Amino acid sequence: MIAKKCGKQSVKFSTPVKIISTYSIVGQKEGNGNFKDYFDYILKDDKFGEDTFEHAERKLIEHAIIHGIERAHLNIQDIDLMLAGDLLNQITSSSFTARKLNATFVGLYGACSTMAESLAVGACMVDGGFFKNVVCATGSHFSSAERQYRFPLELGNQRPPTSQWTVTGAGCAILSADGPNDCNKIYSATFGKVVDYGVTDVNNMGAAMAPAACSTLIAHFEDMHTKPEDYDLILTGDLGKLGSELLIDLMEHNGYKLGRNYSDCGQMMYNDNQKTFQGGSGAGCSASVLNSYVMRKLSEGSIKRVLFLATGALLSSTSAQQGDSIPGICHAVEIRRE
Amino acid sequence: MDDKELHEKYNAYVQAKIPKTKNFPSLFYSYLVGGLICMLGQGISDTLLAIFPSMTKDAASAWMLIGLIFLASFLTGLGVYDRIGVFAGAGSIVPITGFSNSIASPAIEYKKEGIIFGLCVKMFSVAGPVIVNGLAVSIIVGIIYMFL
Distances, alpha carbon A278 to alpha carbons A39, A161, A264, A269, A271, in Å: 21, 7, 11, 10, 11
ipTM for this model:
0.89
Q: How confident is the model at residue A21 (pLDDT cuts 50, 70, 90)?
A: very high
Best of A155, A276, A317 to substitute, by most chain B Cβ atoms within 10 angstroms, is A155
Looking at the domain assignment, is residue B20 inside a domain? Answer: no
**Record: contact A154-B102, CB cut-off 8 A:** no
The Cα-based distances of B10 to A79, A126, A326, B5, B108 in angstroms read: 45, 40, 13, 9, 40
Q: Do A192 and A76 lie in a common domain? A: no
- Which residues are registered as beta bridge partners of A5? A11
Nearest to A197 among B10, B85, B89 (CB): B10
Asked if the structure places residue A3 within a domain, the reply is no
CA-based nearest residue in chain B for residue A245: B17
- The residue out of A125, A151, A176 marking a domain boundary is A176
Q: Closest by alpha carbon to A112, among A82, A149, A147? A: A149
Q: How many domains does chain B have?
A: 1
Inter-chain touch A161–B20, beta carbons under 8 Å? yes
**Residue B9 maps to a domain:** no
Q: Give the per-residue pLDDT at B1.
A: 57
Distance from CA of A197 to the nearest CA of B (A): 5
B74 within a domain of the structure (yes/no): yes
pLDDT per residue as tens digits for the range B118-145 = 999 999 999 999 999 999 999 999 999 9
Helical (H) or strand (E) element with B99: helix B96-109
Q: Specify if A191 maps to a domain.
A: yes
Please give the tally of structural domains in chain A. 2
A211-256 tens-digit pLDDT: 999 999 999 999 999 999 999 999 999 999 999 999 999 999 999 9
Q: Is residue A4 part of a domain?
A: no
Task: Closest CB to B98: pick one of A51, A156, A277.
Answer: A156
> Does residue A142 share a domain with residue A195?
no
- Contact of B50 with chain A, judged by CB distance below 8 Å, is answered with no
Closest Cα of chain B to A181: distance in Å?
Answer: 46
- Same domain, yes or no: A161 and A211: no
Domain boundary among A134, A154, A176: A176
In this structure, the answer to whether residues A131 and A218 fall within a common structural domain is no
Residues A200 and A148 in one domain: no
Segment (H or E) for A330: strand A328-336
In a domain, A9, yes or no: no
Quick check: B89 contacting A, CB < 8 Å? yes
User: Do residues A158 and A84 both lie within one domain?
Assistant: yes
| A94, A193: one domain | no
Structural domain range at position A80: 17-176
CB atoms A156 and B18 under 8 Å: no
Q: Which of B11, B79, B85 sits opposite A199 (nearest CB)?
A: B11
Q: Give me the domain span that covers residue B130.
A: 29-147
- Are residues A148 and A21 part of one domain? yes
One domain, residues A55 and A93? yes
A1 domain-assigned: no
pLDDT band for position B21 (cuts 50, 70, 90): confident
Residues A21 and A105 in one domain: yes
Out of A159, A176, A193, a domain closes at A176
Q: Looking at the predicted structure, is the pLDDT value of residue B2 above 80?
A: no
Q: What is the CATH number of the domain that holds A261?
A: 3.40.47.40
Query: B6 lies in a domain?
Result: no
A295 pLDDT above the threshold of 80: yes
* B86 contact A CB<8A: yes
Backbone angles phi and psi of A173, in degrees to 5: -130, 140
Total Cβ atoms within 10 A of residue A25 = 31
Please check whether residues A220 and A168 belong to one and the same domain.
no
Mean pLDDT of A202-214: 96
Residue A222 maps to a domain: yes
Task: Say whether both A129 and A253 belong to one domain.
Answer: no
- At B49-66, the pLDDT tens digits run 999 999 999 999 999 999
B51 touches chain A (CB under 8 A): no
Task: Give the pLDDT confidence score for residue A84 in this predicted structure.
Answer: 97
Answer whether A329's CB lies under 8 Å from A180's CB: no
* CB-CB under 8 Å, A198 with B21: no
A157-203 pLDDT per residue, tens:
889 999 999 999 999 999 999 999 999 999 999 999 999 999 999 99
